Structures are given as C-alpha cells and as structure tokens.
Amino acid sequence: MQYLKQSTAKTFRIGPFLDEDNGKSAEPALTIVQADIQISKAGAAFAQTSAGSPTTTHDSDGWYQCPLTTADTGTLGLLDVQIHVAGALPVWRHFNVVPANIFDSMFSTDKLQVDVTQLGGVAQSATDLKHFADTGYDPATSKVEGVKLADTTTTNTDMVGTNSAALASVCTEARLVELAAANLPAVIDTIGTNVGAVLNDTEVGLPNRLTNIDGALGQIDTVVDAVLVDTAELQAKATAVVSGAFTGTPTTTTGNTDLTGFAANVFIDRYIYITSGTYQGGFAKITDYVVASGVLTYEALSGAPAATDTFVIA
C-alpha cells in the first residue's frame, strides 16, 4: 500500500484499464472526468474528487495519470480511489495518508517527533527540568529540595565519625573479632574464582555459540529466499486476468466452471465479469473458490448465468 503525505497534491498512475467485453485489451482513449474518479476517505462513502477538471492523460498500455488534490488527501488513514468508465473494467488503488512528519521521516531527511510529554505517567513541562534541560546546572540556584539548609555547611553534629570518640565507639575489639570470623580473604578468593570462570566462558564458549548462531541465520536466509520466490509466483498468478466459462447449472451466487490449475482461494476478493449471455456486463465480488470442483462462490448477480456463458476474473 502506497503512503501519501497529508494535505499534499499527488499525481499517480492507475490502471490498466481493460476492455469490458474481452477483459484483456488495453483502452488507450478513455475520457475520464471528475465524476468518474470516486474517493473514499478513512472508510467514508465514496464521493467524486475535488479536482474540477482533472488531467487524466493516457500513459501507456491502458495506464492513466490521476491527480489528487490537497483536499483529497486531507484526511488521515485509508484512502480508496476507484474509476469505472464506460467501455472498460473498473480499476482501483488503495493508499494510506500519514502526517507530514511521518512521511518526511520515511522518505526525506526529517526526523520523527518524539518530544517527552510524560515521566512515569505524569505530564511534564520543560520548566520542570529547567536547571538541567534548559540552562544547565547552576550551584548557586540548583539545590535539592528538602536538604537545602545553607550554602555552606560549617557544623554537623549528626554525622558519626567527626571526632575520635565517635570512631572509637564503632571500631571496638568485639567488632574486629566479628570481621575476622567473617573470613573476608576467603570470600574475596571465591569471587576471584567465579570471575575467572566467567572470563573463560566469554573467551571460549561465547565464540562457539556465536558460530552456531551464524549457521542458523544462514539457514534462515535460505528459507526466506525460497519463500520470497514462492510468494512472487503466487502474486503473479493472483493478479493476472483469467478467462473461463460456466458449466452445469450456475445460480446467482455460485457456479461450476472450467477453471483448473489454480490454488485454493486464489480468486477471493477479486471480481467476476460476465462477458456473454443474457447477463453480459454483470459483475460481483468472489468470496470462495474450490480447487477440486472449480466452483466459484460470489456475491449475488442480477440473474443466473447459463451453462457455457463466459466470464473473466480481474
């Protein structure tokens, strides 16, 4: 899905416009006017483009220019554009309209705006951190609230260890015996042994693990490449125009067909267009496809086709 910058005019290519009768011949001479270009913004109802006289010049092989105005791209979210001109099958494009900052961050030199507005779930302002974020730390004015007693501390009788008497009350014979019993040298030796084991594992074990990880990543790359190839093949089959004919007794919502060789559900969300018979020109969205029987299920047609009536899927 293509991204568009909000409230910014954009000209893109849309197509291919194919003949509504055979479903494969390009239509290079269509006249596409304002009413033909229908736009749905953020899931709202379709309405014509705001461009009064849109320039819809044919480019090549049934592809046309299509302009979007700043009003067309003014609403954030999904933007669906569809064009259905007499003589050609309908064509549509899907876009995602994003803010200018996000668009320019992805496709230009801008950076995503990540201003800090909360800390710990509480709204903040720049003035809350003015000494550190705005003007820097100033020892003359930046004091920690709650302990700002004076600019200069001259005497503090609450601090233990400011005189020999206080130190003597802590460093007693009993306390020295306790320290000796704790066998601090042995504890330090144990710590040294553990640190040595960690360093050895880092030098020997870690490189081996990294080598194993590299091998696993190589296997993953191989599998991903194969998946990409398969995906490209499936996408090519899913987007091609397919022709077929009904068999048996079709109804307004289901019918046996002569389709073979397609994957299950490959036609879901595509459209079936009746190209012969009483209901030629009718079309409906496909909701299911069964490989084994070739049965298509689709939204209700205006009438049931007959056996051998032809169709295209686009």
* Residue 288 belongs to domain spanning: 242-313
Measured between alpha carbons, how far is 290 from 210 in angstroms, rounded to an integer? 47
Measured between alpha carbons, how far is 171 from 151 in angstroms, rounded to an integer? 33
Look at residue 163 and tell me if it is in a domain: no
Look at residue 77 and tell me if it is in a domain: yes
Mean pLDDT of the chain: 86
Measured between alpha carbons, how far is 263 from 268 in angstroms, rounded to an integer? 11
Measured between alpha carbons, how far is 243 from 141 in angstroms, rounded to an integer? 82
- pLDDT of 255 > 80? The answer is yes
Measured between alpha carbons, how far is 63 from 13 in angstroms, rounded to an integer? 6
Better-scored residue on pLDDT, 128 or 186:
186
Chain center to CA of 80: 17
Domain boundary among 42, 74, 107: 107
Q: pLDDT (tens digit, 9 = 90+) per residue, 16-39? A: 999 999 999 999 999 999 999 999
Better-scored residue on pLDDT, 168 or 41:
41
Domains identified in the chain, total number: 2
Q: Which residues pair with 79 in a beta bridge?
A: 41, 95
Look at residue 63 and tell me if it is in a domain: yes
For residue 153, the model assigns a pLDDT of 56
- pLDDT of 67 > 90? The answer is yes
Q: What per-residue string of b and e applies to 245-265 under the rule 16 or more CB within 10 Å gives b?
A: bbbeebebeebbbebeebeee
Measured between alpha carbons, how far is 36 from 47 in angstroms, rounded to an integer? 10
Domain boundary among 51, 75, 107: 107
Is pTM beyond 0.85 here? no
Look at residue 175 and tell me if it is in a domain: no
Structure tokens that stand for 211 in this block: 């080598």
CATH number at residue 286: 2.40.10
Look at residue 268 and tell me if it is in a domain: yes
Q: pLDDT (tens digit, 9 = 90+) per residue, 220-248? A: 888 888 877 666 565 655 568 999 999 99
Residue type at position 180? A
Look at residue 161 and tell me if it is in a domain: no
Parallel, antiparallel, or unpaired for β 91-98 and 2-5? parallel
CATH number at residue 24: 2.60.40
Domain boundary among 107, 127, 151: 107
Look at residue 285 and tell me if it is in a domain: yes
Q: pLDDT (tens digit, 9 = 90+) per residue, 116-172? A: 777 777 776 666 555 556 666 566 665 555 545 556 655 555 555 556 666 667 777
Structure tokens that stand for 30 in this block: 């269509």
Look at residue 51 and tell me if it is in a domain: yes
